[in-house]
Amino acid sequence: MAALHPQCGGASSTARRVRCRAASRTIAAAAATATSTACSPVEAAAPAPRRAPARRSTAATVAGMWRQVQGCNDWEGLIDPVAGEVHPVLRAEVARYGDLVSPCYKAFDLDPSSRRHLNCKYGRERMLDEVGMPGAGYVITRYIYAAADVTFPTMEPSTAGRGRWIGYVAVSTDDMTRRLGRRDVLVSFRGTVTPAEWVANLMSSLEPARFDPCDPRPDVKVESGFLSLYTSADKTCRFGGAGSCREQLLREVSRLVDACGKDRPGEDVSVTLAGHSMGSALALLFAYDLAELGLNQHGLNRDASGCRVPVTVFSYGGPRVGNSAFKDRCDELGVKVLRVANVRDPVTMLPGAILNEGTKGFLAGWGATGDCYTHVGVELALDFLSLRDPGSVHDLGAYVASVKAEACGKVPNAAEDGGILAMAMELVGGQSAAASAWKEIAALQMGGLVQSLGF
């Protein structure tokens, strides 16, 4: 049974945890004049002071407050940690972006006999229609592939080093752009499905990201398995997935943002990265990469107000990605992350089961050394559980259903409403959602133990 989190506690130094309650309650919303005011680069980089609660306007729209929805003020005024309420416009956008991740599972071809094995079942032009989202409001411009640099004894030689379809890049249509108040460049990532990705989850040792060759920052470290998926190149170049996931993303997103600046001068632009589970880790790595390289700051990438193009991550059931230096650097660069996390989902607590932001001080007191995994961003906590399907605590469908149910005061049954992970894993070998989810959890847990022990 799904429920709302009864008590989330106070805010920590690394993330704010809030509770979701029925949207019919009053929310501490931004003042009406603030919803139409763009955030300056300085505002985007610095935390905003706590604003006095104000009754939400019934006329509030995403177009009128899109910068706040994208986190320019760290969602202050849209999320009330005291009353546990979320602005309905933000809630709707969180659900919408979650829905836009689901095609990455629904369209993934896991049939070994198919010529599109490990690719998307459909062409870009009709993929959203085929998965039941004809009115999504986005045009897909490129599919993205990731290849884990891992092998194991049972892996077929034909699949070693091959890129797997991991997600897509899209840009909002003119109609959706008018509704959103800006041109939105979207990157959507799925979570772990293939055996190579399970193995990559075991590689939880921390290593320097080193994305900027001019300023490698060796202290900024991320999980090696996620880094491998992000930076390893496809050795087969099948389906046009040339280069690493990173190279594909940098080329396409830079192209789209530059094109928006040239073809539509004065139009506001945003870059939104949405991912589930492992996909949320890739989304965060890409957001950090964009910000570290300054690709969200150069001349053509400034909107009508002269602000930087905002880069925002909507994470669903995401694990920890890097150490405290990584978190601090993301904050310094103004990377905005809204972490939608089920408090019963163990994946959100990994890796770093022992060495994490909560135990760092305690371990330091005992003279323990080593890097501690640390979450990035603002946490929006949900609480749902189905006794019939325990694995659904990590299911994307259950996450989205829970967010949507809050808008109408209902409590979803995760076993009925969240079946995306179960569907994907049935294609692998008839595994239930519970078996597949706990497989990922076990991999992350074992990797976290290896990291903690220093092996």
Q: Which of 184, 234, 345, 395 is catalytic?
A: 345
User: Are 385 and 1 a contacting pair, CB within 8 Å?
Assistant: yes
- What are the start-end ranges of the E strands in 163-277? 164-172, 183-189, 206-208, 221-223, 269-276
Q: In what order do the strands lie in the sheet with 322-323?
A: 206-208, 221-223, 322-323, 373-374
Q: Which of 5, 276, 375, 394 is catalytic?
A: 394
394 is catalytic: yes
Give the pairing type, strands 269-276 and 311-316.
parallel
What is the rounded CA–CA span in Å between residue 295 and residue 121? 32
∠ at Cα 88 (174, 66), nearest 5°?
A: 40
158 is catalytic: no
What the block records as the tokens of 398 is: 């259950």
Q: Which of 398, 381, 379 is nearest to 389 (CA)?
A: 398
Q: Which of 245, 233, 307 is nearest to 275 (CA)?
A: 245
Residues near 189 by Cβ (< 8 Å), separated by ≥ 6?
Answer: 101, 104, 144, 166, 167, 273, 274, 275, 276, 278, 279, 280, 282, 283
Q: Which of 224, 277, 324, 386 is catalytic?
A: 277
106-127: string of b/e by CB count within 10 Å (b at 16+)?
bbbbbeeeeebebbbbbeeeeb
99 is catalytic: no
Give burial (CB, 10 Å; 0-12/13-18/19+) of 263. Answer: exposed
H-helix or E-strand spanning residue 349? none
Residue 130: how many CA atoms within 13 Å on its side-chain side?
14
User: Phi, psi (5° rounding) for residue 380?
Assistant: -110, 105
- What are the start-end ranges of the E strands in 254-310? 269-276
Task: Name residue 340's amino acid.
Answer: V
- Indicate which residues carry an active-site annotation: 277, 345, 394
